[in-house]
Amino acid sequence: MDKLEQSFQLAAEKYSELGVDVESAMKQLDEVAISLHCWQGDDVSGFENNNVALSGGIQATGNYPGKARNPEELRGDLDFVFDLLPGTHRLNIHSLYAETGGKKIERNELAPEHFRNWIDWANGRGIGLDFNPSFFSHPFAENGTLSNRDEAVRRFWIEHGIACRKISAEMGKLTGKPCITNFWIPDGSKDTPADRLAPRARLKDSLDTIFSEEISKEYHLDALESKLFGIGAESYTVGSHEFYMGYACDKQKVLCLDAGHFHPTEVISDKLSAALLFLDDVLLHVSRGVRWDSDHVVTMNDELLAIAQEIVRNGYLKRVHIGLDYFDASINRVAAWVTGARNMLKALLYAMLEPSDKLRDLENCGDNTGRLVWQEELKTMPFGIVWDYYCRRCNVPDGFQALEKIRDYERSVLSSR
Ligand code: RNT
Ligand code: ZN
Catalytic status, residue 142: no
Sign of the Cα torsion 141, 142, 145, 150 reads negative
Q: How remote is the CA of residue 325 from the centroid of ligand 1, in Å?
A: 7
Catalytic status, residue 271: no
Catalytic status, residue 184: yes
Cα–Cα separations (whole angstroms), residue 35 to 42, 295, 301:
17, 16, 20
What are 20-49's pLDDT values in tens digits? Answer: 999 999 999 999 999 999 999 999 999 998
Longest CA–CA separation in the chain, Å: 71
Pocket probe for ligand 1: among 285, 322, 326, the residue whose CB has the most ligand atoms within 8 Å is 285
Q: Amino acid identity, residue 393?
A: R
What are 284-315's pLDDT values in tens digits? Answer: 999 999 999 999 999 999 999 999 999 999 99
Rg (CA), the chain: 22
Catalytic status, residue 2: no
Query: DSSP states of 313-370 as a string?
Result: HTT-TTTEEEEE----SSS-HHHHHHHHHHHHHHHHHHHHTS-HHHHHHHHHTT-HHH
| From 285, 310, 321, 374, active-site residue | 285
| From 227, 241, 321, 346, active-site residue | 227
Catalytic status, residue 151: no
The two beta strands, 288-290 and 254-258, are unpaired
Statement: residue 82 has pLDDT above 90: yes
Q: How far is CA 109 from the centre of its chain?
A: 26
CATH annotation of 34-352: 3.20.20.150
Share of the chain above pLDDT 70, in %: 100
Contacts of 211 (CB under 8 A, 6+ apart): 165, 222, 251, 253
| Residues facing 233 on adjacent strands | 230
- Give the count of alpha carbons within 13 A of 281, CB side only: 20
Q: Whose CA is nearest to atom 7 of ligand 1?
A: 58
What are 351-403's pLDDT values in tens digits? Answer: 999 999 999 999 999 999 999 999 999 999 999 999 999 999 999 999 999 99
Q: Which residues, judged by CB distance below 6 Å to any ligand atom, belong to the binding site of ligand 1?
A: 39, 44, 58, 94, 132, 184, 225, 227, 258, 285, 294, 325
Q: Amino acid identity, residue 50?
A: N
For the entire predicted model, the pTM comes to: 0.98
Query: DSSP states of 36-105 as a string?
Result: EEGGGGTTT--S--S-PPP-SS-------S----SHHHHHHHHHHHHTTSSS--EEEEEGGG---TT---
Neighbouring C-beta atoms of residue 363, cutoff 10 Å: 13
For residues 132 and 380, give the distance between their C-alpha atoms in angstroms, rounded to a whole number. Answer: 40
Confidence of residue 111 (pLDDT cuts 50, 70, 90): very high
Catalytic status, residue 160: no
Q: How remote is the CA of residue 204 from the centroid of ligand 2, in Å?
A: 20
pLDDT of residue 1: 85
Q: How remote is the CA of residue 194 from the centroid of ligand 1, in Å?
A: 26
For residues 393 and 22, give the distance between their C-alpha atoms in angstroms, rounded to a whole number. Answer: 13
Statement: residue 17 has pLDDT above 90: yes
Ranges of CATH 3.20.20.150 domains, the chain? 34-352
